[in-house]
Amino acid sequence: MHTQVLGLNSDLKAALAGVIANVILGASSLYWKALGDISPQTLLCYRILISLVTIAAILAINHDLRSIIKRMSLRLLIVHTLAAVFVVINWGTFIWASINGHVLESGLGYLLAPFVAITVGALTLGDKISLTRLLALITIAVAVSYLFTTGTDLSHWVYITIGITWGGYACFKKLTTLDSFSGLLVETSVLTFFIPLIVLTLPITLSLPNTISLSKITLLGLCGFVSVIPLALFAFSASRLALSVMGFFQFVLPLTQLFVALAFYRQPVSHSTLICFSVIAISLVLIVAEQFIQGHKLIANKI
């Protein structure tokens, strides 16, 4: 009995960690908005650099850096280089949307990302699609098409970009043997390598505005933790919970973004947008519920 209680507490802690990770990611729009005096391109560069330093420090303390070097191969480097392209576009779009008040679109993009991952997985990785998933994908395609043609209150490129890049990023993560921290270390290292070239060739600078306050500079210095803390919480959660349960966390980030958009940004939302948002969410519920049921069937069969 005592063991069961301990197990229950462990599961609750893992579930709470997963929820908090997604809430932090969803609410981080407010963090980037607070740094709106700095250009999104400059913020993106600092996010890459400071995230690299933060993750490298954590892995060095845990003595994991040598093991990463030993495990690296040309294939893994290519996979994470391609993943880095997707994540940098995702980060840049999210920062821009957060500063410019398009949080509803970014939330919608993260809601679409699982469907992008399912589609890409089926077309390129040979993943099987059940009838439930196929119907959900068709429903999503119709909803997004309707939203694209009628949603005059939205910046459509934001949710399309975030959906494609985050869904594609998830697919690349299926191809690696590295954990989340190690993978992000490789990706930020690759992106850091190109920052000097980008700064020299494009109208992007690492210089901060002369009028920026010390408090804003301090806030900027925390951007590595904005990326790393949710990653750590999510890794803790994923290591202790079944994938079927983890699927439910896919709702937390988009719903947090929806709350932030309405409560803090006062972003106007049309009825057609809310309807499409709801239809997509219900479709995701069906897919996650199917995973949950299949997971319980597998456990029952083993017993």
The CA distance from 256 to 278, in Å, is 14
The CA distance from 255 to 107, in Å, is 7
Cα–Cα distance list, 18 to 32, 42, 98, 292 (Å): 22, 30, 22, 16
Residue 130: DSSP 8-state: -
The CA distance from 70 to 58, in Å, is 18
Question: Residue 230 in contact with residue 22, Cβ under 8 Å?
Answer: yes
Q: What is the pLDDT along the chain (303 residues), one digit of tens a residue?
A: 444 444 447 778 888 888 899 999 999 999 999 999 999 999 999 999 999 999 999 888 877 788 888 889 999 999 999 999 999 999 999 999 999 999 999 999 999 988 888 888 888 877 777 888 888 888 888 888 888 888 777 899 999 999 999 999 988 888 888 888 899 999 999 999 999 998 888 889 999 999 899 999 999 999 999 989 998 888 888 777 765 566 677 788 999 999 999 999 999 988 888 888 888 888 888 877 776 676 555 444 545
Question: Residue 245 in contact with residue 99, Cβ under 8 Å?
Answer: no
0.85 exceeded by pTM: yes
